């Protein structure tokens, strides 16, 4: 190993880091660390300026290790690794130190200690960097097919997009019909059209597409593998079917909450908006004169704190429609806050008001009260603006309830090894930078299974997920991060402990073919199967097996650096 | 108002705690805590590993013998390991290690295994705070650099 | 009937003669009449050197590792505890079952040489012979024969031995012994230590471990320490500094206890080999107890049983939430 020449780049991240951590002080400290030949501060290391500074300094100072102290490797590691590669340095000779999420952002009130901590984190990163080794990435082929789970509008959009690009798509829908939530809707905001036209055209396109293999009704039973190489088995109408895909898009949608509030389910004239739309669609609504709608039913409360985003617009849509059907009717919408963002939605809201829909704001501490024994007769509500309780006659009460996660999200999350976030919706890799990907490579997310979204957003997310998924499909090869296990056959004693702990059956005991060790039984890693968890490396008693990028000497050096030992 | 005794402030015990975080859950949870600006004590230093199962007992023992006041391993909740079963093996090892450490007089709170999901930024910060409080109360690790 | 030296000699001679074995690892008398020493035979004639008596402390199983490449089968004499380390070696593919011929001898306890000398108040040269006699040993000294209760002079591991009869063998010499009358609570001494406060435990172990001279005898003799290159001998990473301070000694002994976790069969060789009389079995017993309580696992019983730290149950204790 050449003598390490380490360059350290410390990011201000504007004021995100620099506003808390004394970056110049950390730079000076870094200069004194073993093997560091260059250290500098950058306003934004990830900017073009920062990246070219890394590249230039690699050349100028003949750096053979690079440490960047900035944000999180979970989003920015590829960028800095590529910068190293561009400058001719093996990208695995790069080490990331997180001083933003793990330091400046969580110690804003304690600049001195945050600075001391940042120094230690840099010291640990430099200690590890000293032991980094160049690695070659293993390339694996991508099976040129996709699975889309969910035949709602997001899933169908994703499937069509990929199929139109020429890729084979397995579309798995658990109901016997395509369309998802769209099938239950009466009209769509803000265009006020019936969804049938939209549904029919998409469904027809999906059903008739030669590249789309429709599995319906079907549920995913098992999925294993990794990007480019997933083995899936599904239960299709009682029959078990298996196939191989390279990528997976999760677009399983959501369900509408059926509330246990306002005597829903007990009084005949209390409906959710979804019930109302179904009745309108079926022509079964009947006469009405006084309509009251209540928003945020079961939403934005301690046990379900999120805003479902769609309900305000849905309520406005249906309120206006009630006036349209019966202009003599009195229609009230009781709301907490109205969210009608953007140009079209605000306009839509204004038109509803012009049509005569009345909006009354209520406070969660004084929620509306339902009056009536067999049917709702009236609704009492405290009107904040008038500072008094008003009683509104009511023969139809409609509740705006939020979208809630599907019951099978957890099972799917476990099967695919993708996370579920607060409230039970799926969690993407990064809220801003990777909105339609999971942290697990090769698996993507779209539509309301992630978060309440309207049709336009669901379609856009379907397209976005499809275009992300098309990248590996198009490339045909994916590089697997070089963090797989390697065996030193010289010291391996062939005890098979690693074989027992490996979750992927990636290790076998075999006779060595290496000169001088012929016939010795040693562990052998299949790099195509190894996922780089490092379980084997922790279990091997004589450490004959190591995980690249997380070797004993690297981890131990970090521990020793933190505790002031060399 | 009486100013605090500066001497006392200087000698206040600030434990140093190491946390191994798995890439997929705990590290992501720590990132989320940062993004959410959850303020927490400065005692904890994170080392990223791909899976909690990568952390061998040797590293924990080494860290404690080096004088670090506490070591945590933070991983995915049972059943949610990115590698299916890594955290289950970690759990078995941790049970045995914790008891062995306690046997030679290292208080159980100095070695903790906790589950933090990618969505649990708040839990990460609570875990950090709790560890800092408990280990501060225990005082310095008496096994560090013992001659 | 208990096995005798004569039976061992005849049986092993026969095994050589009928071609069952090409080598044999057994015991012969050592430098004084209170010592036996391992012996390695290549022919039936030499079988007359073999002995079997309550002084046969050595666990011979580790020597099998040196016979991996010899022609024919290697015979080996094992007591109950030794047989369990043979199981561990088989489990970890360190030896080939087809290449070993296991001669089991049920054991009713081995003499702790130092305890015996202390109880009798004699020097080693004064003892002529030691024989098993049920719950006591008959010790012949120059003045005559003394009967010494076993509980006074047994080795520590024999006082808590649950497997006096080998768990695996091709031939058993003597009658199986199902249990030993003096064995009660296997872990009473562990429990005593557990009950101490953290400060007391730390004081106790600091004092014990401060004596360690890191000669590694405990590791070298351990039948399940089979690594080609022990992590403590590696140059990079250096898990231990060369300083022989208490913290470094702690790392060594805790890591060793963990490395043999779920594999240690309590043969007691580490403690017997320790020149500084560090109670090493105590650490191993602690781990053994926890693994039994947590996972219901006992090492060295069944070759097919998966080691406890390489597997899991989803419903394992989860006290860390």
* CATH code for the domain of B104: 3.40.50
The minimal CB distance from C259 to the residues A500, A521, A541 is found for A541
Q: C237 and A501 in contact by Cβ < 8 A?
A: no
Instruction: Find out whether A496 and A509 touch, Cβ atoms under 8 Å.
Output: yes
pLDDT tens by residue, A445-483: 999 999 999 999 999 999 999 999 999 999 999 988 899
CA nearest to C264, candidates C217, C304, C301, C213: C301
Q: How close B131 gets to chain C, by Cα (Å)? A: 12
Spatial distance between the Cα atoms of A404 and A449, rounded to a whole number of angstroms: 9
Neighboring chains of C (3 or more beta-carbon pairs < 8 A)? A, B
Question: Least CA distance to C313: which residue of chain B?
Answer: B88
Inside any domain, residue B8? no
pLDDT at A420: 87
Spatial distance between the Cα atoms of C50 and C16, rounded to a whole number of angstroms: 14
More reliable by pLDDT, A64 or A196: A64
pLDDT tens by residue, A225-248: 889 999 999 999 999 999 999 999
pLDDT tens string, chain B, 147 residues long: the values are: 444 444 444 568 999 999 999 999 999 999 999 999 999 999 999 999 999 999 999 999 999 999 999 999 999 999 888 888 899 999 999 999 999 999 999 999 999 999 999 999 999 999 999 999 999 999 999 998 777
Angle at A292 between CA A290 and CA A296, to 5 degrees: 175
Tell me how crowded residue A286 is: count the other CB atoms within 10 A of its CB. 9
CB-CB neighbors (< 8 A) of B30 in chain A: 101-102
The minimal CB distance from B24 to the residues A439, A556, A562 is found for A439
Q: How close A428 gets to chain B, by Cα (Å)? A: 10
Question: Least CA distance to C260: which residue of chain A?
Answer: A541
Inside any domain, residue B147? no
What total of structural domains would you count in chain B?
Answer: 1
CA nearest to C173, candidates C13, C304, C64: C13
Q: A533 and B80 in contact by Cβ < 8 A?
A: no
Q: How far is CA A339 from the centre of its chain?
A: 24
Neighboring chains of A (3 or more beta-carbon pairs < 8 A)? B, C
Residue written as tokens 């649950």?
C162
Spatial distance between the Cα atoms of A159 and A470, rounded to a whole number of angstroms: 11
Q: Which residues, in sequence order, are CB contacts of A283 under 8 Å at separation 6+?
A: none
Question: Least CA distance to B109: which residue of chain C?
Answer: C320
For the packed helices A552-562 and B57-65, what is the interaxial angle rounded to 10 degrees?
20
pLDDT tens by residue, C82-132: 999 999 999 999 999 999 999 999 999 999 999 999 999 998 888 999 999
Inside any domain, residue B71? yes
The minimal CB distance from A559 to the residues B35, B38, B63 is found for B63
pLDDT at B18: 98
Inside any domain, residue B89? yes
Inside any domain, residue B106? yes
Q: C201 and B104 in contact by Cβ < 8 A?
A: yes
Question: Could you tell me if A470 lies within 8 Å of chain B, comparing CB atoms?
Answer: no
Question: Could you tell me if A236 lies within 8 Å of chain B, comparing CB atoms?
Answer: no
Q: How close A461 gets to chain C, by Cα (Å)? A: 36
ipTM greater than 0.85: yes
Interface size between B and C, measured as CB pairs under 8 A: 118
Inside any domain, residue B1? no
> What range defines the domain where residue B45 resides?
14-137
Inside any domain, residue B103? yes
Question: Could you tell me if A367 lies within 8 Å of chain B, comparing CB atoms?
Answer: no
Q: B65 and C247 in contact by Cβ < 8 A?
A: yes
Spatial distance between the Cα atoms of A335 and A315, rounded to a whole number of angstroms: 10
- Read off the pTM: 0.83
Question: Least CA distance to C94: which residue of chain A?
Answer: A495
Tokens for C211, please give them. 């004596």
Q: C228 and A556 in contact by Cβ < 8 A?
A: no
Interface size between A and C, measured as CB pairs under 8 A: 49
Q: What values do phi and psi take at C5, rounded to 5?
A: -55, -40
Inside any domain, residue B35? yes
């Amino acid at each position: 190993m050449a003598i390490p020449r380490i360059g350290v780049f410390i990011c201000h991240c504007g004021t995100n880091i620099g506003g808390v951590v004394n970056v110049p002080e950390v730079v000076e400290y870094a200069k004194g660390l073993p093997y560091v030949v260059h250290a500098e501060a950058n306003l934004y290391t990830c900017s073009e300026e920062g990246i070219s500074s890394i590249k230039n300094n690699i050349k100028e100072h003949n750096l053979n290790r690079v440490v960047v102290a900035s944000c999180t490797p979970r989003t920015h590691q590829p960028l800095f690794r590529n910068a190293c590669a561009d400058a001719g340095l093996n990208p695995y000779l790069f080490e990331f130190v997180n001083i933003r999420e793990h330091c400046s952002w969580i110690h804003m009130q304690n600049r001195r200690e945050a600075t001391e901590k940042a120094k230690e984190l840099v010291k640990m990163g430099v200690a590890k960097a000293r032991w980094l080794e160049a690695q070659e990435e293993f390339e694996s082929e991508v099976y040129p097919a996709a699975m889309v789970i969910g035949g709602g509008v997001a899933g169908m959009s994703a499937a069509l997009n990929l199929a139109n690009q020429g890729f084979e798509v397995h579309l798995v829908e658990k109901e016997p019909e395509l369309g998802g939530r769209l099938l239950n809707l009466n009209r769509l905001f803000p265009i006020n059209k019936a969804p049938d036209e939209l549904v029919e055209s998409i469904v027809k396109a999906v059903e008739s597409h030669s590249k789309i293999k429709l599995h319906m009704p079907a549920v995913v039973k098992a999925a294993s593998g990794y990007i480019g190489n997933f083995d899936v088995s599904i239960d299709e109408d009682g029959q078990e079917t298996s196939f191989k895909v390279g990528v997976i898009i999760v677009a399983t949608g959501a369900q509408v909450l059926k509330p246990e509030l306002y005597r829903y389910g007990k009084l005949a004239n209390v409906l959710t908006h979804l019930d109302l739309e179904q009745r309108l669609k079926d022509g079964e609504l009947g006469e009405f004169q006084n309509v009251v709608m209540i928003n945020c039913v079961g939403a934005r409360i301690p046990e379900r704190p999120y805003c479902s985003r769609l309900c305000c617009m849905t309520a406005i849509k249906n309120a206006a429609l009630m006036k349209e059907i019966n202009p003599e009717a009195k229609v009230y919408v009781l709301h907490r806050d109205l969210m009608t963002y953007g140009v079209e939605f605000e306009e839509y809201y204004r038109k509803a008001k012009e049509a005569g829909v009345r909006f009354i704001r209520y406070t969660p501490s004084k929620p509306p009260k339902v009056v009536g024994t067999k049917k709702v007769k009236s609704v009492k509500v405290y009107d904040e603006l008038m500072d008094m309780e008003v009683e509104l006659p009511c023969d139809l009460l409609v509740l705006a309830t939020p979208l809630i996660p599907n019951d099978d999200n957890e099972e799917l999350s476990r099967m695919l090894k993708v996370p579920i976030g607060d409230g039970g919706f799926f969690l993407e890799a990064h809220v801003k930078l990777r909105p339609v990907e999971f942290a697990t490579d090769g698996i993507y997310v779209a539509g309301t299974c992630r978060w309440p979204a309207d049709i336009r957003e669901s379609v856009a997310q379907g397209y976005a997920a499809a275009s992300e998924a098309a990248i590996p499909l198009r490339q045909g090869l994916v590089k697997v991060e070089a963090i797989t296990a390697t065996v030193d056959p010289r010291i391996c004693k062939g005890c098979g402990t690693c074989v027992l702990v490996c979750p992927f059956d990636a290790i076998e005991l075999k006779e060595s073919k290496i000169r001088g060790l012929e016939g010795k039984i040693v562990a052998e890693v299949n790099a195509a199967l190894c996922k780089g968890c490092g379980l084997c490396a922790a279990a091997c008693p004589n450490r004959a097996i190591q995980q690249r990028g997380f070797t004993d000497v690297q981890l131990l050096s970090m521990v020793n650096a933190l505790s002031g030992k060399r | 108002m009486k100013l605090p005794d500066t001497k006392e402030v200087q000698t206040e015990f600030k434990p140093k705690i190491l946390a191994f975080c798995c890439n997929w859950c705990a590290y992501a949870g720590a990132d989320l805590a940062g993004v959410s600006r959850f303020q927490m004590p400065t005692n904890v230093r994170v080392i990223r590993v791909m899976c909690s199962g990568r952390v061998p007992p040797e590293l924990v023992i080494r860290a404690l013998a080096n004088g670090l006041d506490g070591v945590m391993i933070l991983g995915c909740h049972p059943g949610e390991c990115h590698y299916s079963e890594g955290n289950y093996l970690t759990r078995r090892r941790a049970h045995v290690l914790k008891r062995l450490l306690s046997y030679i007089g290292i208080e159980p709170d100095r070695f903790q295994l906790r589950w933090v999901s990618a969505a649990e930024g708040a839990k990460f910060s609570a875990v950090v705070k709790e560890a800092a409080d408990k280990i501060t109360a225990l005082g310095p690790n008496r096994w560090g650099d013992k001659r | 009937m208990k096995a005798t030296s004569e039976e061992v000699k005849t049986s092993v001679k026969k095994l050589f003669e009928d071609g069952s074995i090409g080598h044999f690892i057994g015991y012969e008398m050592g430098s004084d009449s209170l010592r036996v020493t391992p012996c390695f035979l290549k022919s039936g004639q030499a079988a007359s050197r073999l002995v079997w008596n309550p002084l046969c402390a050595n666990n011979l199983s580790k020597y099998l590792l040196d016979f991996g490449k010899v022609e024919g089968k290697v015979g080996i004499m094992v007591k109950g505890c030794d047989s369990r380390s043979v199981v561990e070696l088989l489990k970890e593919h360190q030896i080939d079952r087809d290449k070993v011929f296991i001669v089991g001898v049920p054991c009713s306890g081995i003499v702790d040489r130092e305890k015996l000398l202390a109880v009798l108040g004699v020097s080693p040269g004064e003892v002529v012979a030691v024989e098993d006699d049920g719950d006591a040993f008959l010790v012949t000294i120059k003045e005559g024969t003394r009967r010494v209760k076993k509980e006074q002079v047994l080795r520590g591991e024999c006082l808590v031995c649950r497997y006096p009869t080998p768990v695996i063998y091709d031939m058993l010499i003597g009658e199986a012994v199902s249990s030993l009358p003096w064995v009660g609570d296997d872990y009473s001494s562990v429990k005593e230590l557990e009950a101490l406060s953290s400060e007391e435990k730390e004081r106790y172990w600091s004092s014990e471990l401060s004596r360690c001279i890191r000669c590694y005898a405990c590791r070298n003799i351990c039948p399940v320490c089979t690594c080609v290159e022990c992590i403590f001998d590696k140059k990079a990473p250096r898990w231990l500094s060369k300083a022989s301070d208490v913290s470094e000694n702690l790392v060594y002994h805790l890591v060793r206890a963990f490395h043999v976790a779920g594999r240690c069969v309590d043969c007691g060789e580490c403690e017997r080999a320790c020149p500084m009389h560090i109670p090493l079995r105590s650490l191993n017993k602690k781990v053994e107890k926890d693994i039994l309580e947590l996972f219901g696992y006992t090492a060295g019983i069944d070759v097919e049983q998966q080691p406890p730290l390489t597997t899991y149950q989803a419903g394992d204790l989860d006290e860390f939430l």
